[in-house]
Structure 1
Amino acid sequence: MPLGDDLDSRIRAASMAWLRQRCTPEDPVVRRDELLGFQFEGRTFPLIDNQLGIRKPQGLTAALSILTTYTSDGARAPYEDAVGEDGLLRYKFQGNPGHYTNVGLRRAHELGVPLMWFFGVQQGLYLPFFPVWIVAVDERLSQVAVALDEAQRHLSVDGPVSLIERRYSERITRQRLHQPVFRQRVIQAYETSCAMCRLRHRSLLDAAHIIPDRDVRGVPAISNGLALCKIHHAAYDQNILGIRPDYTIEVRADILQEIDGPMLKHGLQEMNNVPLVLPRCRADRPAPELVEERYERFRSAG
């Protein structure tokens, strides 16, 4: 098989085309074994390294992909890869800065080639982001800056960034990575099921914040999230129903007195005093102090 730039461009094009077909709105995540077993031109060509976070295949000019391993909320901050003052995410070098994988990241920056970023949402399960680009290398802090789209690629990372540019870039990072990762981590923790009504259609499920994300305490952590269908998410946000500290649903008193069609009766009123279905992993369950704080807000709103 010929090596060099031709192989480099072919594998990047083929792998991203496969991801576009494989990852649908109904099933947007990909398993580790699928990434390790990717087939390219008649042979197995892993898209991730079996042990390292950076994949730099032999024969390719630059790194092909980067990976962020899933860890529970209690083990680290929700996003270990920090956002810089320019609103761009940083990805740390791994080990010795001179290691061939880190050299591969530098080459990706020099050549401007697209990469894939696989973000862990559960053990062995990843949400892919592609194409992404390495737009700066910070040797002092042993890290690179990653652009999630074309708009971020054109930001100035070597000089001062205006407040408008920074806020715009931060919004892209939040919308393109933080919110999708939070959504998938929450939905996976609740086994693709509404915590209130058990609806299992992924496309109709949301990751609801217990403490809203506009609040300083509204962190994108599973323990601050609930998998809810769209109607119960809206009802929760509008304080039509709340969740008691014992994880039982409470419907607002005036809603219980209303007379309307079957949706009100079966979709809302019959949820009163129904217990939430909680994640099996205790670390993923709603934080009691957050549930209690949100319940008090619900009671005050009523």
Structure 2
Amino acid sequence: MGWLSDAATAERDWLRSETLRAFEFDGVRVPLVDAQRGIRKPADAVAALSIRTVYRPEGAARPYEDAVGPDGRLRYKWRGTDPEHPENKALRAAMKAELPLIWFFGVGPGDYKPIYPVYIDAEESLQHQFVVAIDEVQRDSISDAADEHVRRYLRVERNQRVHQRVFRSTVMRAYETRCAVCSLRHGDLLDAAHIVEDRHDLGVASVRNGLALCKIHHAAFDANILGIRPDLVVQIRADLLEEVDGPMLQYGLKERHDERLMVLPSLKREQPDASLLELSYERFRAAS
């Protein structure tokens, strides 16, 4: 986990599967993921080391549908249906020993965002799945005496933390860590922006509802100073076009008016959804 933290950068906080399989510990190669399996257990270990959720292109199904349950914790499917399968036993051993694991979530073909530490909290045998706490805090159960509104808030907030980390990595990978509006490359100055806000019914954490934006353009987008038409052309609010200010307004905003986005994902299936851009642009026009 320390090596994973050192390997992450602001420009790239996900890793290629080849890099994960080449990991060495004390001079011994110990792959962190298995090329063919979702559950990784080193040959000389009793417990599992990691779990993996493969990347799913828009509209495609995964071999196993891992999902977050109503309590905000991940449900990770068994390998097959045999409770005594060695990989299922390896996860059960990690659960009994309360060992931390790494969850590798696919954000692109062969690209994985590591989320750690995660813990196997329980097993739901009838559903052929394990219950996974996705951070240290989630392991602490919410008091039964807590107000239901508090319990609901904590479940949603924990769920969002994971989704936002995965969403950012997926969007940055698709846009090659560059601002869609101005092509700025510095990851520390970039955000993964929702086209339609996540509280909206259609505001899912999907790459097609995302834009890589520098912090200035993200703030301008959220404030309806900058809009993006469904044909991917940038618009700046009319009153700003008339305003005279410093170089940021002139070069950072006004000169982007009527210009197409500078950066788009290379895969068409990952480019912004035109219907979501239309919703967002309607909000921009209403504010103008």
Matched, 1:220 2:240: no
SS in structure 1 at match of 2:208: helix
Give 2:167's aligned residue. 182
SS in structure 2 at match of 1:197: coil
Q: Determine which of 261, 275, 281 is the counterpart of 1:295.
A: 281
Alignment partners' CA distance in 2, 1:232 and 1:271: 10
Q: Determine which of 242, 246, 250 is the counterpart of 1:265.
A: 250
Residue 240 (structure 1) shift? 0.3
Q: Answer yes or no: is the 8 Å Cα contact 1:85–1:166 preserved in 2.
A: no
Give 1:141's aligned residue. 127
* Range with greater deviation from structure 2 (23-32 or 219-228): 23-32
SS in structure 1 at match of 2:59: helix
The 5-angstrom pairing of residues 83-162 of structure 1 reads 83-97=68-82, 98-155=84-141, 162=148
Q: Determine which of 185, 188, 195 is the counterpart of 1:200.
A: 185
Residue 113 (structure 1) shift? 0.6
Cα distance, 1:80–1:234 mapped onto 2, change above 3 Å? farther
Percent of aligned pairs with the same amino acid: 50
Q: Answer yes or no: is the 8 Å Cα contact 2:12–2:177 preserved in 1.
A: no
Q: Answer yes or no: is the 8 Å Cα contact 1:120–1:127 preserved in 2.
A: yes
List alignment gaps of at least 5 residues for structure 1. 1-15
Give the TM-score taking structure 1 as reference length.
Answer: 0.89
List alignment gaps of at least 5 residues for structure 2. none
Q: Answer yes or no: is the 8 Å Cα contact 2:11–2:177 preserved in 1.
A: no
Q: Determine which of 9, 13, 25 is the counterpart of 1:40.
A: 25
Alignment partners' CA distance in 2, 1:217 and 1:184: 20
Q: Deviations over 1:67-122 (max 9, x none)?
A: 11111122149x94222121111111121333211111111111111101111111
Cα distance, 1:289–1:37 mapped onto 2, change above 3 Å? same
Alignment partners' CA distance in 1, 2:280 and 2:148: 36
Alignment partners' CA distance in 1, 2:181 and 2:234: 8
Q: Determine which of 140, 164, 168 is the counterpart of 2:150.
A: 164
Alignment partners' CA distance in 2, 1:247 and 1:27: 25
SS in structure 1 at match of 2:32: coil
Alignment partners' CA distance in 2, 1:59 and 1:184: 32
Counterpart amino acid of residue 121 in structure 1: V
Alignment partners' CA distance in 2, 1:241 and 1:63: 48
Alignment partners' CA distance in 2, 1:88 and 1:161: 19
- Provide the aligned length of Structure 1 versus Structure 2: 284
Alignment partners' CA distance in 2, 1:20 and 1:26: 13
Give 2:265's aligned residue. 279
Matched, 1:22 2:10: no
Q: Determine which of 33, 49, 67 is the counterpart of 2:52.
A: 67
Cα distance, 1:108–1:299 mapped onto 2, change above 3 Å? same
Q: Deviations over 1:206-260 (max 9, x none)?
A: 1111110011110000111111111001001100011112110011111100000
Q: Deviations over 1:137-181 (max 9, x none)?
A: 0001111111122221122799x9944234213312311x11011
Matched, 1:81 2:39: no
Cα distance, 1:26–1:190 mapped onto 2, change above 3 Å? closer
Give 1:6's aligned residue. none
Alignment partners' CA distance in 1, 2:122 and 2:51: 15
CA RMSD of aligned residues (A): 2.1
SS in structure 2 at match of 1:129: strand
Aligned structure 1 segments of 4 or more residues deviating by more than 6 angstroms: none
Q: Deviations over 1:16-75 (max 9, x none)?
A: 221122223343212211111111222211111120000012221211100111111221
Counterpart amino acid of residue 283 in structure 1: R
